[in-house]
Amino acid sequence: LSPVFVEFFVSAPGKVILHGEHSVVHGKVALAVSLNLRTHLRLQSTSSGDVRINLPNIDTFLSWEITALQPLLAGCGGEWRWIFELDGDLLKRLREFTGISDDSTDTRSMAVLAFLYMYLTVFAKSLASITVSVWSELPTGAGLGSSAAYNVCLSAALLSARGAISSPLTPQQESARWSKEEMELINRWAFMGEKIIHGNPSGVDNAVGTWGGFLRYHAGNITPLSWVPILRILLTNTKVPRSTKVLVSGVKDKINKFPSIMNPILESVSAVSCTCEKTLTEMAVHGPSPEHYNILEELIDINQHHLNVMGVGHSSLDTLCRVTLARGLHSKLTGAGGGGCGITLLRPETDTSVIQSTIDELKACGFDCWETSIGAPGVQQHSSAALSQDILKILNSY
Amino acid sequence: RAPMQTREFFVSAPGKVILHGEHSVVHGQVALAVSLNLRTFLRLQSTSSGEVHINLPNIDTFLSWEITALQPLLAGSEQGGLKDLDADLLKRLREFTRISEDSTDTRSMAVLAFLYMYLSVFAESLASITVSVWSELPTGAGLGSSAAYNVCLSAALLSARGNISNPLTPQQESARWSKEEMELINRWAFMGEKIIHGNPSGVDNAVGTWGGFLRYHAGNITPLSWVPVLRILLTNTKVPRSTKVLVSGVKDKINKFPSVMKPVLESVSAVSCVCEQTLIEMAERGPSAEHYNILEELIDINQHHLNVMGVGHSSLDTLCRVTLARGLHSKLTGAGGGGCGITLLRPETDTTVIQSTVEELKACGFDCWETSIGAPGVQQHSSAALSQHILKILSSY
């Protein structure tokens, strides 16, 4: 099943945590959701004899001759292992080959390693010359799942090019999704890429990137929710830097300091996630109503207070909440807190001019701000016609 | 019983704030109430005028009655009823003063409480007295102004009648009554509170009587023995609100999201308990910087919980933001939705910082006082103990 000449496009969404960040670490329920800021990938089969990767977001343009890559696979154990666990030896050989040391964790190094590892393990005995170009709407390192979206795109594209999964797009379609079993496979390979980049990831990010929509995450179990609506939001990046590690351990310290005060709050956050899930399911099944939106807004406000109680608030996030609330819009931090990103729920009837003035004011505060949606589809294959001119232009320039 | 002579004496009682537990206390959780050192002062003079005078300059009320006119109101009353309000006496008083059942304005309530207490305490030996009251407390702000008034009345009338002692010795500036006497003062003050509020918890008058910090839980009031005095800013946003509406709003929210809200109530109870432990440690071992850090964290946590309950307000957010910008921590106290807030001051907090904070809060349109909590309850004072300003007001009648 080796393709003669093929070009195709895939995309995968980023991710935000809707409810449950921080308390999920302590065994509580979290809701993760796909963010419709997407990573787009174009794969071309070529006859160049090399493998190229173009990552304009991070100014990375590299290529390797297949003949140089082939030896790295010599002496690998059974290929069957690669679906279940990371091949430490192969990774080591890759690091030596690319000159990326064990300590290097910068974005470029990680992206390259994940790509080469996935390419080699997917194509294995039939290394083919391809060119992969990726363009993302997602900021990196902001907790929005940009690495997972990248890994999911790579996984879907490579598996498809290799023929391990189908090319679901029919000529009439603009976008198409893979089958349930194929998505499982895409997700497993993407998870490998995540392990390379993050060490010990939860798997939520790549699950969201693969399946899209809303996911419940609880005690290590990931459950996609079947019936969910798409919600319009503002996504704001305060750009205030913070250490996720420090914030997570700060929460742990506070729980240990005031257990009788903090443990009920974790419980309350779990209940917020569950109540939100019920409300979303109702919205999708019965159709959304104003009361549904009222409840979603109340839950957002409650959880934002709980996150402040946990100690992961920040004045920049207070500003986001205040600016949006002045226009009747409700916001909460998403992810680690201490700065970083926040989401603001928009109602169907929210005026465009209100949205615009909100975005303007948030940008005036020094924040980045996008109008987008959550609950959007996971990984998809697209026709070139489905892509915006901007993105198509970027991807086609390599 | 000491015979009545021409005599004058001064008492004062503190207001009250809830430190932690407002709203959740209604749902069976632990609350901490504490005396506020904005005080109500009362001067009682025995006269030979044959009249009873009351002067309440804060509410522009100056009234007097002839004893001979009041005497008939007692006919048929049973004596010593400290268990329940004498509804008949109250009814006759309303008719006499022409204060209808519906009237609940401050002036009417203050007059009724005074006359009821005067008649019940003096009973068979109605004496001519003049009572003048001046309060530092704003009324209707949830700061216990009616209880401070009732405690002062109770202590002064009981003392004038000889039911309790005059604890002040010539050398003293201030003195407190004995434990048993305070129980009696508190019971009478509670009667006054019942007249004014219908079904009060009794916390306000307990704080006014005993001062310091009180734990309130499921109807039980426990004064805490070893507690420090803490400096605070007391801010009145002056945003009006209905306590009734706020309380029922919280109830509605609990019913709407029980799994979300009940743990929050639990958490508030824990805040009260941790605060109590910290205060006791501070008083026993001496306060430390870490103690203040904990008190500040608890204030912030509880303020978030109160917002979750839905009793926040933008004016209170402003208070919190203005004070936090100077490293000071605040929370609403009482009903919320506006109303009052308290800000903890640390011993090392600079006078200039306090001053600039007070000014900025006033510029927001709020009233703001630098005061303290945990101060003494009802006391008798010498005239020398009072500020010139207060002495002047009380002595002008």
pLDDT at A75: 75
CA distance B264 to chain A (A): 6
Residues from chain A that touch B271, judged by Cβ atoms under 8 A, are 261
Backbone phi and psi for residue A250, each to the nearest 5 degrees, phi listed first: -65, -40
Point out the residue among B263, B273, B274 whose CB comes nearest to the CB of A267: B263
pLDDT under 70 in chain B at which residues?
1-6, 77-81
pLDDT at B66: 96
**Spatial separation of the C-alpha atoms in residues B57 and B391, rounded to whole Å:** 13
pLDDT at B82: 72
Q: How far is CA B236 from CA A385, B162, B282, B359, in A?
A: 62, 39, 28, 13
- The 8 Å CB, 24+ separation contacts for A173-182 are A173/A383, A174/A382, A174/A383, A174/A385, A174/A386, A175/A377, A175/A380, A175/A381, A175/A382, A175/A383, A175/A386, A176/A380, A176/A381, A177/A377, A177/A378, A177/A379, A177/A380, A177/A381, A178/A379, A178/A381
Mean pLDDT to the nearest integer, A144-172: 95
Q: Is the pLDDT of residue A274 over 90?
A: yes
- Between CA B152 and CA B272, with CA B214 as vertex, the angle to 5 degrees is 145
Closest CA to B340 of B308, B306, B376: B306
B329 CB contacts (<8 Å, ≥6 apart)?
A: B296, B299, B300, B323, B343, B344
Residue A3 and residue A161 in contact, taking contact as beta carbons nearer than 8 Å:
yes
pLDDT at A105: 86
Closest CA to A193 of A144, A121, A138: A121
Say if strands B51-56 and B61-66 run parallel, antiparallel, or are unpaired.
antiparallel
pLDDT at B280: 93
- Give pLDDT tens digits for A210-264: 999 999 999 989 999 987 889 999 999 999 998 999 999 999 999 999 999 999 9
B301 to A274: CB separation less than 8 angstroms, yes or no: no
Q: Is the pLDDT of residue A67 over 50?
A: yes
**Spatial separation of the C-alpha atoms in residues B383 and B234, rounded to whole Å:** 27
Point out the residue among A261, A267, A275 whose CB comes nearest to the CB of B257: A275
pLDDT at B80: 57
Point out the residue among A265, A301, A308 whose CB comes nearest to the CB of B267: A265
A117 CB contacts (<8 Å, ≥6 apart)?
A: A87, A90, A91, A94, A192, A193, A196
B350 as an active site residue: the answer is no
pLDDT at B268: 97
CA distance B275 to chain A (A): 11
CA distance B349 to chain A (A): 22
- Which of B256, B264, B295, B316 to substitute to test the interface with A, most A CBs within 10 Å? B264
pLDDT at A170: 93
B146 as an active site residue: the answer is yes
pLDDT at B1: 47
Residues from chain B that touch A271, judged by Cβ atoms under 8 A, are 257, 259-260, 263
Q: Is the pLDDT of residue A354 over 80?
A: yes
Q: Out of B120, B204, B269, B315, which one is annotated catalytic? A: B204
B260 to A309: CB separation less than 8 angstroms, yes or no: no
Q: Out of B12, B35, B132, B146, which one is annotated catalytic? A: B146
**Spatial separation of the C-alpha atoms in residues A270 and A224, rounded to whole Å:** 17
Q: Which residues make beta-bridge pairs with B45?
A: B8, B130
Query: With bands split at pLDDT 50, 70 and 90, how would you rate the model's confidence at A144?
Result: very high
What is the ipTM score, two decimals? Answer: 0.88
pLDDT at A214: 94
Residue A182 and residue A166 in contact, taking contact as beta carbons nearer than 8 Å:
yes
Closest CA to A167 of A50, A43, A13: A43
Query: With bands split at pLDDT 50, 70 and 90, how would you rate the model's confidence at A78?
Result: low
pLDDT at B81: 62
**Spatial separation of the C-alpha atoms in residues A329 and B170, rounded to whole Å:** 65
Q: How many residues does chain A have?
A: 398
Residue A151 and residue A193 in contact, taking contact as beta carbons nearer than 8 Å:
yes
SS3 state at B183: helix
Mean pLDDT to the nearest integer, A368-389: 95
| Half-sphere exposure in the Cβ direction for B308 (13 Å, CA) | 32
A346 CB contacts (<8 Å, ≥6 apart)?
A: A231, A232, A233, A234, A329, A355, A371
- Which of B267, B300, B311, B332 to substitute to test the interface with A, most A CBs within 10 Å? B267
DSSP string, B18-39: EEE-TTTGGGT--EEEEEEEEE
CA distance A375 to chain B (A): 24
Query: With bands split at pLDDT 50, 70 and 90, how would you rate the model's confidence at A125?
Result: confident
Point out the residue among A261, A272, A308 whose CB comes nearest to the CB of B260: A272
Predicted TM-score (pTM) of the model is 0.90
DSSP string, B78-129: PTT--SS--HHHHHHHHHHHT--TT---HHHHHHHHHHHHHHHHHGGG---E
Q: What residue type is A80 in one-letter code?
A: W
B326 CB contacts (<8 Å, ≥6 apart)?
A: B353, B356, B357
